[in-house]
């Protein structure tokens, strides 16, 4: 056998072994992570985007989960601007579309254990100005929140849905169903 044939043969064997290993690693079922719920906390306070520092009222919740598989704690949550979708807040945004308004929400991740256990906390997160999840055009900034814990639970709260929407906002070319307050006269 010639040297070039031996090299080709070894290359083909190496490629076959490599592809087999890749195939086996992709087809092996991965173990699903097992989680244990630890705590739910409800918060309220103020937040601002660090570049503007215009505070606004926010409320929301955080959860603490323990990943048994990875042996890691996860503490995270978010807050929503409480005046963003009120009758007056919507009116202001329609009447002054080019004015700065505080963001719709602030996401807070990797909350340290020491902060999570306090009754009052200052946390840093990322703001979101729209409710569009996958929008490429969404504006996000580093933000700071000063929050007070209003409730702590060792279980997830039950979710209660309103029986019927309390208002519908109709804008030219679109409508948005808002279950916050009657919107007559907007």
pLDDT tens for 82-96 read 998 889 988 998 999
pLDDT band at 26 (very low <50, low <70, confident <90, very high): low
Label residue 39 by pLDDT band (50, 70, 90): very high
Q: Which of 56, 110, 108 is nearest to 83 (CA)?
A: 56
Asked whether the CA dihedral 104, 43, 57, 178 is positive or negative, the reply is positive
Q: Which of 46-60, 92-106, 124-138 has the lowest mean pLDDT?
A: 124-138
3-state secondary structure of 158: coil
Convert the pLDDT of each residue in 89-119 to its tens digit: 889 989 998 999 999 999 999 999 999 999 9
3-state secondary structure of 160: coil
Structure tokens at 141: 């900034």
Residue 158: the pLDDT is 86
Tell me what pLDDT residue 159 has. Answer: 79
Rounded to an integer, what is the distance from CA 106 to the centroid of its chain? 8
Give the bridge partners for 24, in sequence order. none
Query: Quick one: pLDDT at residue 126?
Result: 95
In the chain, the percentage of residues whose pLDDT exceeds 70 is: 66
């Amino acid at each position: 056998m010639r040297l070039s044939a031996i090299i080709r043969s070894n290359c083909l064997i190496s490629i076959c072994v490599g592809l087999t290993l890749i195939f086996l690693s992709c087809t092996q079922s991965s173990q699903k992570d097992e989680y244990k719920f630890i705590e739910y906390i409800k918060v309220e306070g103020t937040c601002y985007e660090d570049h503007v520092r215009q505070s606004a009222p926010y409320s929301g919740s955080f959860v603490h989960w323990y990943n048994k598989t990875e042996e890691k704690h996860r503490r995270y949550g978010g807050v929503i601007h409480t005046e963003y979708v009120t009758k007056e807040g919507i009116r202001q945004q329609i009447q002054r579309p080019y004015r700065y308004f505080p963001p719709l929400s602030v996401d807070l991740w990797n909350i340290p254990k020491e902060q999570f256990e306090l009754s009052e906390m200052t946390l840093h997160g990322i703001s979101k100005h729209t409710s569009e999840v996958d929008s490429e055009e969404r504006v996000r900034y580093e933000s700071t929140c000063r929050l007070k814990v209003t409730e702590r639970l060792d279980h997830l709260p039950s979710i209660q849905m309103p029986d019927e929407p309390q208002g519908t906002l109709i804008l030219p070319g679109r409508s948005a169903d808002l279950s916050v307050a009657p919107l007559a006269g907007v």
